[in-house]
Amino acid sequence: MNRKPILIVPGEPNSIFFEIFFKSLFLEKFKSPIILIGSQKILELHMKKLNYKLKINLLDKSKLLIYKLDNTEINLINIDCKLPIKFGKISKNSKNYINDCFNVAFDLLKKKITNKLINGPISKKFFLEKKYLGITEFIAEHFNIKNYAMLIYNNNISVCPITTHLPLKYVVKNIKKETIIKKIEIINLFYKNYLKKKPKFAVTGLNPHCESISSFNEDDKIILPSIKKLKTKGINVSGPYSADTLFLKSNRSNFDVIVGMYHDQVLTPIKTLFEFDAINVTLGLPFLRVSPDHGPNEKMLGKNLSDPLSLIKSLKFLDN
């Protein structure tokens, strides 16, 4: 294999992943070999339901380095699934199967067979069971990574929330100088090393209009000092800016990355602006982990109406 393969953990069996995967293969050509890690029976179930006829190339995970792979067939490392092979509602029953898929992927990444991972949509409620805030944290802990950043990437503007899937009542306690500084440093390094670009950062305030009726204003006491410190490190960063106007076209066009204080502060506007034209990239890991920026969407299961754009963007991002 000249190009390192892209590993894909399909995720929740009762999701739209296979639909958008099949569409991606028909709509685009990818140079890097794509290797699915999942159940052959589940794959064939979705193929039959959606009326796709694709050949499956079963792989031995211990012999990947000797294969000459392309994407004329679906390259599959088959994972035994003890679930009933049928469509149904998302439940905790799929947890062990999904975990088995991740473990095979993690093993291959640790052996440096590749440095590219995509995971399909997963139910946080049933898979994570409140043990992790999200898949970002699940993967980071598995590799013992303490400092990482979640970047929602688009060619025009990307965003990063300082806190991720955290209830609002906990956000304030988790807005800290060292966290802001470290996440922006990680993103800055990624842009320089991977995208060959020195990024321009905008940082939002925490409070509406960066003002507070409290005697302690986090925008003045935490966020502004963090920005000043980052500037001394040569990072092109400014703020804090009021989040309600920062995403106006005339404002956002001045920046590459907008860093917000909590999940919906920055993910709501970017999804409104670009819909499925964005991907979720975890930075700070010893490999690149990317996922389509949407959930399982079980209500659309089997309808063949889902948009594959985010998965196509994910695959293109790693196709080098």
Alpha helices, H only, the chain = 17-27, 40-50, 95-110, 135-142, 168-171, 177-193, 218, 224-232, 243-246, 249-252, 263-274, 309-318
Q: With beta carbons less than 8 A apart as the criterion, state whether 303 and 23 touch.
A: no
Q: In sequence order, what are the residues at sequence separation of 6 or more whose Cβ sits closer than 8 angstroms to the Cβ of residue 227?
A: 203, 237, 238, 239, 240
Other Cβ atoms within 10 Å of 63 Cβ, number = 8
Task: Let me know: does 133 contact 233? Beta carbons within 8 Å.
Answer: no
Q: Which of 121, 233, 141 is nearest to 187 (CA)?
A: 233
Closest to 188 (Cα-Cα) out of 253, 252, 257, 254 = 257
**What domains are there in the chain, each with its CATH number?**
1-145+285-320 (3.40.718.10), 148-282 (3.40.718.10)
Show the tokens assigned to 89: 């509602």
Condensed to tens digits (0 to 9), the pLDDT of residues 148-179 reads: 999 999 999 999 999 998 999 999 999 999 99
Encoded amino acid at 225, one letter: P
Q: Order the strands of the 236-241 sheet from edge to edge.
A: 56-58, 74-78, 34-38, 6-9, 116-119, 288-292, 279-283, 149-153, 158-161, 257-260, 200-204, 236-241
Q: Output the pLDDT for position 1.
A: 52
Q: What is the pLDDT along the chain (320 residues), one digit of tens a residue?
A: 578 999 999 999 888 999 999 999 999 999 999 999 999 999 999 999 999 999 999 999 988 887 889 999 999 999 988 776 677 787 888 899 999 999 999 999 999 999 999 999 888 888 887 788 889 999 999 999 999 999 999 999 999 999 998 999 999 999 999 999 999 999 999 999 999 999 999 999 999 998 888 888 999 999 999 999 999 999 999 999 999 999 999 999 999 999 999 999 999 999 999 988 999 999 999 999 999 877 777 777 778 888 899 999 999 999 98
Classify strands 236-241 and 200-204 as parallel, antiparallel or unpaired.
parallel
Report how far residue 237's alpha carbon sits from residue 224's, in angstroms, rounded to the nearest whole number. 11
CA dihedral 167, 169, 174, 180 (to 10 degrees): 70
